[in-house]
Structure 1
Amino acid sequence: MKAMPIDAVLPELTGALAASNNAVLVAAPGAGKTTRVPLVFLEQDWLVKKRILMLEPRRLAARAAAGYMARQLGEQVGETVGYRVKHDTRVGPRTRIEVITEGILTRMLQDDPELADVGLLIFDEFHERSLHADLGLALSLQAQSLFREDLRILVMSATLAAEPVARLLGDAPVIVSAGRAFPVETRFLPKPWTGAVEEAVTRTVLSALAEEAGDVLAFLPGAKEIRTTQALLAKSELAANVRVYPLYGALAQHEQDAAIQPGQAGERKVVLATSIAETSLTVEGVRIVIDSGWKRLPRFSSRTGMTRLETVRVSRAAADQRRGRAGRLDAGVCYRLWTEQEDRMLVAHEPPEMTEADLAPLALELAAWGVNDVQELQWLDVPPKASLAQA
């Protein structure tokens, strides 16, 4: 296996979890944490005959991570490394590393609070702070406290503030790894864009293809904007060797795989993606990123009792994650479709989903777990009282 930046801290990480049940790993994008860390724990004495569960926020990232690790072992997915995502499971009797999406951990804990055959839980990309990740960690910590003192928990992130998580995990050790990022030039708009975002992305894709070498990854808010941009590019005068691929969660698996795999010899790829491509995923060949600056998030309205999708500005952390996609394989360039003045106004992080979401599913899970008071569990952010009362 080729060397990765994360390799330098793996001895410290394995030592930390040999001596302590919990740890926090902060590793910059490109360090290799998602695909290197689970493999290094396979031979640890405390993990003999136990499985590793690694949580990924998105199905595409879960399948891609499992496939990459399996290839590193010279195996097929479903042998030593497998995955479980909604409507798709590839595990076998010899599987010891399972990459799963977050809701699946909640179900596994409800079915077996002891997680009897699991030795290590890894929460990857925890900075995304999904409702299921926060709930999964809270339930896992209680299961560790009540039933499984030997259960290890590792929280990993690229942009997380480590200290609050370390305190939540009982003053767990924090290990920090550098990333492997090539330099990325950032280009801003000279003045604010007032037209449709699809037009701005289309115009920038065309100029980037003319000005720069390499493949293009463009971030748009959602599937609607991706389809519109794809149609606009189809009407433009693209070179014969340019292929355009959409990438969003509702696509069929073979279409998602086509977007992230290397292009054919002599082909240039343009991948139009939602925030699905921000983390834990390397889109092969990309050295140009075009960031619309928008993403679509669910927002719950207590007034209507309904959840709606809302298009919002990206945070500083998300913009930096997107920019980093251009520097994973070579020096790159990032076109930000906003001005430098607008850039200074970005919020640092998106709020945790816990503070914005409908908490009815959370209330049901807590009732099934047997919790009447949320204070019985350890939370990074306690569920808001008003939202929980309504739920």
Structure 2
Amino acid sequence: MILVTGGAGFIGSNFVLDWLAEHDEPVVNLDALTYAGNLNNLRSLESDPRHIFVHGNIGNAALLSDLFARYKPRAVVNFAAESHVDRSIHGPEDFIQTNILGTFRLLEAARAYWGGLESKHDFRFLHVSTDEVFGTLDADDPAFNEETSYRPNSPYSASKAASDHLVRAYFHTYGLPVVTTNCSNNYGPLHFPEKLIPLVIHNALKGRPLPIYGDGMQIRDWLYVKDHCSAIRRVLEAGRLGETYNIGGWNERANLHVVTTLCAVLDELQPRPDGKKYSEQIAFVTDRPGHDRRYAIDARKIEAELGWRPAETFESGIRKTVRWYLANADWVENVTSGSYRNWVEKQYA
């Protein structure tokens, strides 16, 4: 049995689905079902006895203690987090509560449970984090590696940096068997359409503007979510205790390039009824405060130690992603509620 937190969100639900497709080992899935958590992501598991869903928050110490005592997991995979920079700018408190205090509560519950185990060596606590904790890079700077200093620039990245430090401290102070992963920008199926790629696909198909911050030359490394999930499985299996592993896609692309690529794929797979190009919908909007210019991941450590590399190129992953959204229009309609539309209008006005 493994305990997955945040397993109804984008990356978490992909991980749970892939895990149960690859293993018979059951999953206890704890998720608070905030706006980005969606049980529809897990609909295919409704009758699967290997998937046990629990509605709750990682900040609830009593609930965590009960879950550890009842299910006795051999590992924890912590995806639970508030994860959107824009939302952290408008309302940072939720990020402090979940990403810092929630991680603390989860670590405390795991430490108490682990302390009572006869075979302590077999337990693992895998903490999923982000490359945004490293700050921003200039065009000619080397990519982030596991030794890069932390320099977070948003309330979101600062809260994730704090959670990473807590995880590290629990290894060095208490000996809790932890490992941390820092990933680059994920994309793929089941992605809530507030982030760039699903937002552009959704808006394009609705005939709405495709908003691009500033000049659109902010660079990110793009990682297909299924590749990320396979990397996490590998780290959980064989990662060295107390270590950090950067997970990247080796796909640095400017935001403007990402959007024009999406437009070209949509032009091919689902052309506009009026015969025009989707790129005509591109609209540049005021840049967000403190927008980091470039992220880049050096993922050589995980390849050298654990033999992992991403299977998808940027082009193959984007095509798979567009095909999934075209085939799952009902899922998109279900998650883009009135509150979602109001937020998007406010953010990109």
Do the structures match in fold with TM over 0.5? Answer: no
Q: TM-score range by the shorter chain?
A: 0.3 to 0.5
Larger radius of gyration: 1
TM-score, normalising length from structure 1?
0.32
TM-score, normalising length from structure 2?
0.35
Q: Point out the structure with the larger strand share.
A: 1
Q: Point out the structure with the larger helix share.
A: 2
